[in-house]
Amino acid sequence: MSDTQSGELKKTPVDNESWMNNPLWYKDAVIYELHVKAFFDSDNNGVGDFAGLIQKLDYLQDLGVNTLWLLPFYPSPMRDDGYDIADYRMVHPEYGDMADFRQFVKDAHRRSLKVITELVINHTSDRHPWFQAARRAPAGSSKRNFYIWSDSDRKFPETRVIFTDTEKSNWAWDEEAHAYYWHRFFSHQPDLNYNNPQVVKAVIRLMRFWLDRGVDGVRLDAIPYLCVREGTQNENLPETHGVIKQMRAVLDKHYRNRVFLAEVNQWPEDVSDYFSDGDECHMAYHFPLMPRMYMAIAQEDRHPIVDIIRQTPDIPETCQWAIFLRNHDELTLEMVTDKERDYMYQMYAGDPRARLNIGIRRRLAPLMDNEINKIRLMNSLLFSMLGSPIIYYGDEIGMGDNFFLGDRNGVRTPMQWSPDRNAGFSRADPQRLYLPPIMDPVYGYGAVNVEAQLRERASLLNWMRRVLAVRKNHPAFRRGKLVFLHPGNRKILAYFRVYEDDIILCVGNLSRAAQAVELDLSAYQGCVPVELMGRSVFPPIGELPYLLTLPGHNFYWFQLADSEEVPAWHEEHLPLEELPTLVLFDGWRSFFRDRVEPWRVAMAERVRGQLEKDALPRFVVAQRWLDGRGEPVRCVTIGDNAEWRYEDCQWLLALVGVEGATGEKPPSYFLPLALAWENGDPERLHAMSANTVAKVRRQAQLGILSDAFADQVFCRALVLAIGAGRTLACERGVIRFLPGNAYAGMAGAGAAELPVRTAAMQGNNTTVVLGERLFLKGYRRLQIGTQPEFDIGRFLTDVAKFPNIAPLAGAVEYESGDGGCITLALLQGYVENQGNCWVYTLDYLARFIEECRTEVASPIAAAQAHGAYLVLIRTLGRRTGELHNALGTATGDAAFDPEPVTDNDIADWVRHVQAEAVVTLDLLDRLKNELTETVREVALTLLAQRNLLADHLQNCIGGRQVQAVKTRCHGDYHLGQALLTQNDFVIIDFEGDSARPLSERCRKHSPLKDVASMLLSFSYAAHTAHTHDSAERTEDWTKFEPLLREWEAEAGRVFLVAYDEAVHGSELLAASSSRRGLLDLFLLEKALYAVRYELDNRPDRAFIPLRGILALLQQAVNGGS
């Protein structure tokens, strides 16, 4: 297999046919190996059967497998667990009959489960009629020639004995035939003579017999040994390949989408011959890979895996490897060196009784010492390496073994379904069971069983279901190329799986201890890694090595997405060596031609040009607070500004204009700048370096020019200036530092010494926390007028005394020469909190979904299911009502006193929403063909109800008299604006919708606009949680959607009830009927606006508000409004 460089990967076409009709279905297979007798006993005779297997098909479907490989179920003396077949055309009577088998195939196919059965063609049982006839027939006769006979046991001396523990020779004497017969395995399993064309024809007839009964594939057992020839080792002979090609030709001629799975326990270069040019076997086991996965774990070194994959030749596009960790046989060590075999025995079979033939008769969990992380890591390798994975029954729950049972029976014990009698496998008396179940205290069925693990969210079984669901959604795991990375830490195994645009990075820690690794991912610079098991977003990939840390025996699967948003907490910073160096010959005056000596004007113009056309555009374009982020920035011009000095530090407080490529009037931003020098405070320099705008030089002294909000001294100076009520003159205006009434009580003594840290979440503004006492917000995008957050904060803090907000401590405002006012910064009291209600809700819903996935009890009503969460929502509703009561307090302040809602107000509101509807539906109509199928379907439904929407908007109020008032409102109210603090809420961010002009945000309106926004936020939360969960488990979409809708409805109902109770008796709202109409109007307004926003920014999420609009229209049709 070529070890291609990651930048040279080729893409392979995607096959879009359905799973059952896909001719390459085996490349997407997840195979579950089981023995009918071991799975479930339906008639309580102590032996599993087809009727029992049928009862468990739903379990297998829910597990996430899609193909079932059945071990031999034919009549047999059972001296080799059914591989000694006495009749190829019948079902063993203890397992059922042919009708049961046909029903099983039918029921499996109904669940989209493929079926692979055994075609044991190398040998038969010595009880088979063919052999019985052969031993009685004369030497040289056609019947005798069905098998290989000799007068001497010295023939074929070059051929090795496989079962060295039980067989001394490949020849066995038959008394009746008076001759030796050839057997490569047990002496009771005589080999068929494939040098005889009649044998080939007979076997092909057997193959067709089972294919005609609907099986999707056959496993060709032990096929390297079919043909023999003097002077050879009698393995992998050309004649053998000729037989397989003959069988394949019949298969292709008479059947569609059927498969040969080859058991070829050979080295990769020999196995690849069984693919030939795609005209022999479709699949073959990769035997050498399996023991090397165990070796890599034991050695804590990736070399065994990487080395064997490198030795693996390329195979035809239509072929596939089958890979496994364990199966019904011993863990074979034939395909390792003698030293490797000794090492494996030492590490995994210290007790000699665990050794059998050339292998180890243990299951996966005991081999991994029952350490859950090691078991998960091994399965992660199984599910992400090249090939279709095979799961051995019971390994999904970590079943143990019992090598005291002899032969390989210790890994073939009954499936452990429950802690009931006989592990829930059978109701028969224990002594009647074909084998006793595992009963020890660690692996026994009382401790390890399906029933218990289904109920335990963190169980191995539920983890297996999740990881298989993730794998199912990514074709890279199934059909992609594998490309190894080569980090310096050899304890880390890292590789890409790449298929078209599906790029998966797999990283595994083979060590028991935590490890760090640096990965060269530069080929995917700019991509954002999304961890697939939890959908967590990691920082984007850059030019430097990507650093990861992994706990012991742990792994990551990342999808590298070029369209994923980077984490909210991540900040981009330019490396210092890439930044320009500005020569500051006269401090801040170096940037201004009118502040320097005449002979230095040219130098000032040059430095100013470097700053505005190079350094600032580089810096600004990477900031989250820039509108139209991602668009090119041509120039950042310094407007009005002021130099400000505090102690030994100097800053430039600048209002800047950001010019894009369009040449439109540039928007204004607040960008204070700071200088730090290398010979100054090293801690200050280090803290500011992450927000460096440019390097600077003053004579021989070097330093940096930085965003001043990264300067702790600046932030403290700002706070002190607010407290002192200072004024700072600018070139054309003035900056005023305005203390609030509560400043002294919040800032307290020692404000100049408060530690400063940047808040975790940054967005349109820059936020800084000072000593867990104060919260400083710097507004970046500037608009003329006082920020509503300043106005409302001052009113609620100083006048209404509303306790559930971050109290106002002060502000910084810029007043222009013409009297216009702009808020630059706001100072509030810091609120200790547990995060916002949006994050809390998503986490809660994720836990709820996971509980539903593992819950076996009957579903309960939403009010009961979400009782604890709804207590918080009741509190949120009450606090919202109390906030509106506070904002509706009459104090004589015209800016805040409530005003009655007039008929003109109602008419204006309705006309506004009608206009919103026209614009939104027109946009939807234009874009409908560009939407995803899910969104388009909902969009077309709404477009078809355009007239109904218009009628509903006209009749929302319905001519009823509205008795209500309008007040100042929050303006952008949603779950993210409520901080959870000790089972209560603090409401924050009274800026309103920053996309709207300040004049509109300061306008009085009905408080119900805030209520509508919050109700829509519940809808967004439900959809986001559902989408997040279903991203890797699409089959769960319909299962959980009704539950989340019930949650949304109940959360909204509880919120409204608590809100109504809080505002009851006030004059805020109208009587019940008109209030419902108003709320519907504002819900539609908010949803229509959200549709346009999502179509412009996140089209896939337009489904949420579209669905909300349709639900409101349905209520109207049903008379709910």
Active site residues: 221, 263
CA distance 299 to 511: 8
List the strands of the sheet with 727-729, edge to edge. 727-729, 734-739, 808-815, 821-829, 774-779, 765-770, 756-758
Residue with structure tokens 């774990």? 297
Query: Over 350-382, what HEC string results?
Result: CCHHHEECCEECCCHHHHCCCCHHHHHHHHHHH
Residue with structure tokens 């639900």? 1111
Residue with structure tokens 């203890």? 94
CA distance 287 to 1016: 56
Cβ atoms of 811 and 826 closer than 8 Å:
yes
CA distance 277 to 262: 15
Tell me the residue length of the chain. Answer: 1121
Beta bridge partners of 123: 191
User: Over the Cα atoms of the chain, what is R_g?
Assistant: 37
Cβ atoms of 657 and 636 closer than 8 Å:
yes
- DSSP letters spanning 12-26: -PPP-S-TTT-TTGG
Beta bridge partners of 149: 181
- Start-to-end Cα distance in the chain: 66
CA distance 417 to 48: 13
- DSSP letters spanning 1037-1068: HHHHHHHHHHHHHHHHHHHHHHHHHHHTTSSS
Cβ atoms of 1008 and 1075 closer than 8 Å:
yes
Nearest-CA neighbor of 1028 among 1020, 628, 451?
1020
Cβ atoms of 936 and 955 closer than 8 Å:
no
- DSSP letters spanning 705-761: EEEGGG-HHHHHHHHHHHHHT-EEE-SSSEEEEEE-TTHHHHH-TTGGG--EEE-S-
Residue 491, token pair as written in the block: 């304890």
Helices and strands in the chain: count of H runs, count of E runs: 33, 40
Q: Nearest 10 degrees: CA dihedral of 285, 289, 290, 291?
A: 140
Cβ contacts of residue 855 below 8 Å, gap of 6+?
Answer: 455
The enclosing H or E element of 502 equals strand 502-509
